[in-house]
Amino acid sequence: MSVVGVDVGSLTCFIGVARTGGIETIANEYSDRCTPAYVSMSEKTRAIGVSAKNQCITNLKNTFSCFKRFIGRQFDDPLVQKELTDYPKPYTVAPSPSGGILLQARYMGEVHSFTPEQITAMLLTKIKETAENNLKTKVVDVVVSVPTFFTDVERRAMMDSCLIGGLNCLKLMNDSTAVSLAYGIYKQDLPAENEKPRNVIFVDIGYSTTQVAAVAFNKGKLKMLAVESDPCLGGRDFDKVLVDYFVDDFKTRYKLDVRSNLKAYMRLTQECEKLKKLMSANSTNIPLNIECFMNDKDVTGKMDRAKFEELSEGLIEKARTLFTKMKNECKDVYSVEIVGGSSRIPSLKNMVTEIFGKEPSTTLNADEAVARGCALQCAILSPTFRVRDFSIVDTQPYPITLCWQGGVENDSSLEVFPRFHQIPFSKMLTFYRKEPFQLEARYTSPEIVPHKDSLIGCFNIQKVTPAANGESAKVKVKVRVNSHGIFSVMSATQTEQLEDDGKEEENMDVDTEKKADATPTAEAQTPMQTDQTGENKTGEKSEGGEDAKKEEGKDDKDAKKATKKKVKKTELPVEELVPQLPPEEILRLVEKEGEMMMQDKLEKERCDAKNAVEEYVYEMRDKIANVLAQFIKEEDAEKFGSLLTQTEDWLYDEGDDQLKQVYIDKLKELKKHGSPVEDRYREHCERP
């Protein structure tokens, strides 16, 4: 089993793998450990990663970037509209018939529409290929990072992308949790389990988002205490401040409308990003020069750190608000760790010091910490690696409420998972019903959820029948937030006592059956059954405290009374109505991705065959004029040289776009003339 952790960012990706010597971040085919999150479509093939980013100017309208911002969202989502307004895309973004998002590009001679999940899957296939080339083995099982603020629908969409990309995602790991694991697992000086935990703040400032987490550490254990995030505050927002400044500056000095020319705007954005990085290390004036920018004009400008901080004052205040919110939620902070590519901005570092009263530490690799944490989590889950015991208690960022209908008095609801509740976690709820009913899960506080729809999904509990006496039947429903952070109804069971001794009333958790019909029992209000499978390393006590102990004692007494009763349990089917791709659509997209991968492979083989002919032409032309000159007759050399020249001309004319077999035949024809000469040279060299 391969052990791979993947950090999928808006701008870049990193791949962490576990080897015998520890965790390593691997390099791609360009010997770069950072793989750009770009996908470029062309007439015959796709380019992904570094090669795609290299085409972002030359193949502007067919190169996708920042598509992670669209995953799991609808076209009319306010965040999507803000994205399209503030950061214009060179490619076409259109609504799908169902209200989703389609990204359009020209591919194989016609315009194709792709969902953000498909484009993400293409990127994941490239990541998979890179990992397989490094590990020399097949890669299937991975741990993939997601932002802490991702909602249920976005997490489901990422899982779909993994399936389409041919990966089995063992766990969707929150960025902050991955960073915390990468930090804590190597620490040898953490407090003992029975001592006061060490509270550490992690500030992750990425390309498009900022995430802050408070984490409690004990020896062999971490517990996420709280998380805060701003999905619209990142390094690119600071880039935009510079871009807006120079757009106005160039309009005044050069009379250029940069926004009207998308290619020029993209070039300016790239230069401003470089300028921002230089200002992180230098406080002096830094020049900006772009040749042939627009209308054959060269443009120049300059910027210093003081002016930059003045321009970005609004962004600094947004960061202040976010950091202050976290400070109010976590007291007794031991240290503050900063990670993320944009954490190097001096004004943000100063803000961290000002708010938390601690100098920010850079213990972790700012760019690779998330990927390394994901790889560590994959190693923990893998049976092939032995890892130091380290338990992880993650947290649910948004409170979840379950709503239902069919009560006697009013429709009812219950908050089953409060904010910052530990996950993964299961709870058992009890309902009394005579007929099938529906449960609706939604986020309790839509105002803190960065998504337009607070609905998680609807779950139909089917085939519920009245009890033998005609009264409401007892239905137990198990709900769960799993290790991916995805909510689901795991099971529903109808229980019926075949022999009634009249003592059922004592086992009820409510006063009357009518009341039970309207609301769930006390069972619903405390996790009477907690699924500890795979999580009992956490060492956390189940919720309920003294009440849980009383319930346990009560259950012991009730168990004695119920020994003579026979209980019939019937598993009930549960229909999920959630915003996720159906299996048949996943299968169709997997097949489509397979077809595109095959096309990429065939095109690569065709290009390799063509390059082999071209390489042979240049190689033999040089050799017959030098090292092979004495092993070939002059007239044969002239004839062979003429053939090589004809082949070269053919390659740049009608031979520019031929089938793979044509190039293979052409190379074979050339070798009929060149191989005998090379054989004579080899015999001469090997002769004693």
Sequence-separated (6 or more) residues with CB below 8 Å from residue 136: none
The pLDDT confidence band at residue 558, using thresholds 50, 70 and 90, is: low
At 39-58, the pLDDT tens digits run 999 988 999 999 999 999 89
Instruction: Quote the pLDDT of residue 411.
Output: 60
pLDDT in tens, 658-671: 999 999 999 999 99
The whole-number pLDDT of residue 7 equals 96
How far is residue 687's CA from residue 678's CA, in Å, rounded to a whole number?
A: 14
pLDDT in tens, 228-246: 999 999 999 999 999 999 9
pLDDT tens, position by position, 243-267: 999 999 999 999 999 999 999 999 9
Domains 4-232+315-392 and 396-580 share a fold: no
Task: For residue 10, give the nearest of 116, 128, 156 by alpha carbon.
Answer: 116
Bridge partners of 286, per DSSP, are 303
pLDDT band at 498 (very low <50, low <70, confident <90, very high): confident
Q: Helices 346-356 and 313-329: crossing angle, nearest 10°?
A: 30
pTM, 2 dp: 0.86
pLDDT at 552: 42
Q: What is the mean pLDDT of residues 372-392?
A: 91
Structure tokens at 169: 């995602």
Q: Please tell me the distance from the alpha carbon of residue 70 to that of residue 430, in angstroms, as a whole number.
A: 38
What pLDDT digit, counting tens, does each position of 304-334 carry? 999 999 999 999 999 999 999 999 988 889 9
If you average pLDDT over residues 427-438, what whole number do you get?
92
Q: What residues contact residue 378 under an 8 Å CB cut-off, 6+ apart?
A: 3, 4, 5, 18, 141, 142, 143, 170, 171
**Preceding peptide of 579 cis, ω within 30°:** no
Mean pLDDT of 282-297: 90
Q: What is the mean pLDDT of the chain?
A: 87
| For residues 487-509, average pLDDT | 68
Residue with the two structure tokens 């109505």: 577
∠ CA 238-242-245, nearest 5°, is: 140
H-type alpha helices, 290-360: 305-311, 313-329, 346-356
Look at residue 687 in the predicted model and tell me its pLDDT.
84
Q: Pick the residue with more confidence: 208 or 534? A: 208
The predicted pLDDT at position 655 comes to: 86
pLDDT at 525 over 60: no
Closest C-alpha to 351, from 330, 329, 324: 324
Proportion of the chain above pLDDT 70, given as a percent: 89
- Topology at the third CATH level for domain 396-580: Substrate Binding Domain Of DNAk; Chain A, domain 1 (2.60.34)
pLDDT at residue 154 in the model: 96
Q: What letter does residue 631 receive in the DSSP assignment?
A: G
Whether 12 and 34 have beta carbons less than 8 Å apart is answered as yes
Question: DSSP secondary structure string, 132-192?
Answer: HHHHTS---EEEEEE-TT--HHHHHHHHHHHHHTT-EEEEEEEHHHHHHHHHHTT-SSPPP
Instruction: Round to whole Å and give the CA distance between 64 and 39.
Output: 5
d(CA 581, CA 161): 10
- Burial of 134-154, coded b for 16+ CB within 10 Å and e otherwise, reads bbeeebebbbbbbbbbbbbbb
Q: Is the pLDDT of residue 551 over 50?
A: no
Predicted local distance difference test score (pLDDT) of residue 686: 87
**pLDDT of amino acid 566:** 79
* Cα distances (Å, whole numbers) of residue 511 to 11, 280, 500: 57, 66, 18
Give one DSSP letter per residue of 423-491, joined into a string: ESEEEEEEEEESS-EEEEEEES-GGGSSSS--EEEEEEE------TTSSPEEEEEEEEE-TTS-EEEEE
Question: What's the CA gap between 669 and 581, in Å, rounded?
Answer: 52
pLDDT value, residue 384:
85
Q: What are the sequence ranges of the domains in the chain?
A: 4-232+315-392, 396-580, 585-686
Closest to 673 in 3D by CA, of 627, 637, 649: 637
From the list 245, 248, 237, 243, the residue with the least C-alpha distance to 314 is 237
Per-residue pLDDT, 1 = 67
Chain-centre distance for alpha carbon 407:
41
- 10-14, 298-302, 516-520: segment of lowest average pLDDT: 516-520
Q: Which amino acid is at 597?
A: M
Q: Using CA atoms in the order 445, 451, 455, 456, what is the torsion angle rounded to 10 degrees?
A: -100
Give the pLDDT confidence of 588-642 residue by residue, as tens digits.
999 999 999 999 999 999 999 999 999 999 999 999 888 888 888 888 889 999 9
Residue 277 has pLDDT above 50, yes or no: yes
| First and final C-alpha spacing in the chain | 52
The CATH topology of domain 4-232+315-392 is: Nucleotidyltransferase; domain 5 (3.30.420)
Which residues are within 8 A (CB) of 585 and not within 5 positions of it... i.e. 6 or more apart?
A: none
Q: Tell me whether strands 391-395 and 400-404 are parallel, antiparallel or unpaired.
A: unpaired
H/E/C letters for each residue in 406-431? CCCCCCEEEEEECCCCEECEEEEEEE
Pairing of strands 38-41, 63-65: antiparallel
With a cut of 90, say whether residue 25 has pLDDT above it: yes
Angle at 144 between CA 397 and CA 138, to 5 degrees: 160
In degrees, to the nearest 5, what angle opens at C-alpha 229 toward C-alphas 120 and 198? 115
Asked whether the predicted pLDDT for residue 426 surpasses 90, the reply is yes
Contact 202, 180 (CB under 8 A): yes
Nearest-angstrom CA–CA distance, 36 and 11: 6
3-state class of 492 per DSSP?
strand
Q: How does pLDDT run across 560-597, given as a tens digit for each residue?
A: 454 557 788 889 999 999 999 999 999 999 999 999 99
Over residues 646-662, the pLDDT tens digits come to 999 999 988 888 999 99
**In whole angstroms, what is the distance from residue 442 CA to residue 575 CA?**
17
Q: Which residue has the higher pLDDT, 409 or 92?
A: 92
Report domain 585-686's class: mainly alpha
Taking alpha carbons only, the member of 189, 202, 217, 177 closest to residue 362 is 202
Evaluate whether 207 touches 12 at the Cβ level (below 8 Å): yes
pLDDT interval class at 406 (50, 70, 90)? low
Among left, alpha and beta (phi > 0; psi -120 to 50; other), residue 429 is beta
Could you give the strand order of the β-sheet that contains 333-339, starting from the edge strand earlier in sequence? 333-339, 198-205, 210-218, 221-230, 391-395, 422-423
Q: Which of 282, 280, 275 is CA-nearest to residue 349?
A: 280
* Contact assessment for residue 61 and residue 90, using Cβ atoms and an 8 Å cutoff: yes
Angle at 113 between CA 108 and CA 114, to 5 degrees: 105
pLDDT band at 528 (very low <50, low <70, confident <90, very high): very low
Strands 168-174 and 141-146: parallel
Mean pLDDT of 326-353: 91
